[in-house]
Structure 1
Amino acid sequence: MKKTLILLIIILTSNLAEAQFIKEKSIHAQIGYGLSAPYNSVDEVVDTGFFAQGELVMKVTSWVELKPYAGFILTNSNGKDLNDNPTDEKAETKAFLLGGKVRLRAPIPWVAPYVEVGMGTSIGKFETFTTYDTYDKSGLIYHIPFSFGLELGKNHNVDLGFAYFFQPSVQQYAGAFAVGITFPLNN
Structure 2
Amino acid sequence: MRKILILLVMTSNLVEAQFIKEKSINAQIGYGLSVPYNSVDEIADDGFFAQGELVMKVASWIEFRPYAGFILTSSNGKDLNDNPTDDKAESKAFLLGGKARVRAPIPWVAPYIEIGIGTSIGKFETLTTFDNIDKSGIIYHIPFSFGLELGKNNNVDLGFTYYFQPSVEQFVGAFAVGITFPLNNKK
Q: Fold match, TM over 0.5? A: yes
* Structure 1 residues 149-168: aligned runs within 5 Å: 149-168=147-166
TM-score by length of 1: 0.90
CA drift of 1:77 comes to: 0.2
Q: Deviations over 1:32-64 (max 9, x none)?
A: 000000000000000000000000000000000
Q: Percent identity?
A: 83
Q: What SS does the aligned partner of 1:102 have?
A: strand
Q: What SS does the aligned partner of 2:176 have?
A: strand
Q: Which residue of 1 aligns with 2:41?
A: 43
* Structure 1 residues 1-187: aligned runs within 5 Å: 18-187=16-185
Moved beyond 6 Å, runs of 4+: none
CA drift of 1:19 comes to: 1.5
TM-score by length of 2: 0.90
Structure 2, unmatched stretches of 5+, are: 1-14
Q: 1-side partners of 2:32 and 2:17: how far apart?
A: 34
Q: 2-side partners of 1:135 and 1:169: how far apart?
A: 9
Q: What SS does the aligned partner of 1:108 have?
A: coil
Q: 2-side partners of 1:19 and 1:70: how far apart?
A: 22
Q: What SS does the aligned partner of 1:169 have?
A: helix
CA drift of 1:82 comes to: 0.4
- Counterpart residue identity of residue 157, structure 2: D
Q: 2-side partners of 1:52 and 1:18: how far apart?
A: 29
Q: Deviations over 1:117-156 (max 9, x none)?
A: 0000000000000000110000000000000000000000
* Count of residues in Structure 1 that have an aligned counterpart in Structure 2: 171
- Counterpart residue identity of residue 153, structure 2: N
Structure 1, unmatched stretches of 5+, are: 1-16
- Counterpart residue identity of residue 159, structure 2: G
Q: Which has the larger radius of gyration?
A: 2
